Amino acid sequence: MVAGLVFCAGSMGQESVPRLPARSLAAKAPFSDVLEQLAQAQHRDLLIGFEKADGVDARVTISYDAAPADEIVKAMCLQDGRYTYSMAANGRILHVFPVHPNPLLRGLLDMKLQQVDIDVHLWTDLVFTHLPDLVPPAREYLAEVYGRITSLKEQPPPLGVSSSTNLQPPRIELHLRDLTVRDLLDAFALKSLEFARMRDETVAPGVTLPASKPAGWKCELPPGDMPEQYWMQSVCKPFF
């Protein structure tokens, strides 16, 4: 059982900016797929916050023997000009986002939150999909967006979800002020990295736990042809 792990954050961007380690990457695939490969290669050093552009991604070709992630993403953005990128102030999260964003999705990410108080037991990869449950203003906004785009005339009954485990998820406690939804997703990502490092130091050898990788985030607006609750939980996902 995992117990006694509490993540608290009162401010953001306090860590020193690390140098990005060089990584090798060779791929020829749609932009999103290559970015996911990069996230997998970098997951212990750098997390990626990805705002997906509408439409089909261009195929990009990347071949690097040793290069930092920002250099690789710069080359990718030159091949798919719909995207650009920036580094978060703490140097731990690389934001990749559209030059011309979907205004509805950008409205969610730019939403200002005066105060966020979260105290839940969740595996860190699930906290992203539960954003609407944890942040009422985000849920209200997404409900309005869903009402505008859905093609469903009636909502089907919710599906029952059953799971069984003797492992207790970690306690995630966040108390943040004056931030955006994007900032909150970044905070979730940093806590997943912190949890993974703590677990590496405390879990007995040979023990495997869920959500073993640190996770960045990916946000996109899915089609409105699915039930509302499932749609809401599909907008933001872990990205690793």
What tens digit of pLDDT does each residue of 19-43 get?
566 678 899 999 999 999 999 887 7
Same domain, 199 and 179: yes
Residues 37, 86 within the same domain: yes
Same domain as 219, residue 133: yes
Distance CA 83, CA 60 (A): 12
> What pLDDT sits at residue 20?
64
pLDDT on residue 55: 93
Same domain for 27 and 140? no
Domain-embedded: residue 8: no
Q: Are residues 226 and 173 in the same domain?
A: yes
Q: Helical H runs in the chain?
A: 31-42, 69-79, 103-109, 126-129, 131-134, 136-149, 181-202, 228-235
62 vs 204: which has the higher pLDDT:
62
DSSP lists the bridge partners of residue 83 as 98
70: CATH: 3.55.50.60
Q: Which domain holds residue 60?
A: 17-100
- Please compute the mean of the pLDDT values over residues 87-96 and round it to a whole number: 91
Residue 163 inside a domain? The answer is no
The pLDDT, as a whole number, for residue 156 is 62
Let me know whether 61 and 130 are in one domain.
no
User: Do 84 and 59 lie in a common domain?
Assistant: yes
- Indicate whether 164 belongs to any domain: no
Q: Measure the CA dihedral 58/188/18/205, to 10°.
A: -100
Work out the pLDDT band at 154, boundaries 50, 70, 90.
Answer: low
Q: Single out the residue in 67, 85, 100 at which a domain terminates.
A: 100
Residues in CB range of 104: below 8 A, 6 or more apart: 145, 148, 221
Take residue 208 and report the two structure tokens written for it: 């495997």
Q: Are residues 186 and 96 in the same domain?
A: no
Looking at the fold, whether 226 and 112 belong to one and the same domain comes out as yes
Rounded Cα distance between 210 and 117, Å, is 25
34, 107 in Cβ contact below 8 A?
no
Same structural domain, 31 and 59: yes
Domain count, the chain: 2
**Domain boundary pick from 85, 100, 115:** 100
Q: What angle do CA 162, 209, 35 make, to 5 degrees?
A: 95
Q: What is the pTM of this model?
A: 0.84
Are 126 and 236 in the same domain?
yes
The more confident residue out of 159 and 189 is: 189
Residues 141 and 26 reside in one and the same domain:
no
pLDDT at 212 over 60: no
Q: How far is 204 from 199, CA to CA, in rounded Å?
A: 9
Q: How many CB atoms lie within 10 A of CB 12?
A: 16
pLDDT band at 115 (very low <50, low <70, confident <90, very high): very high
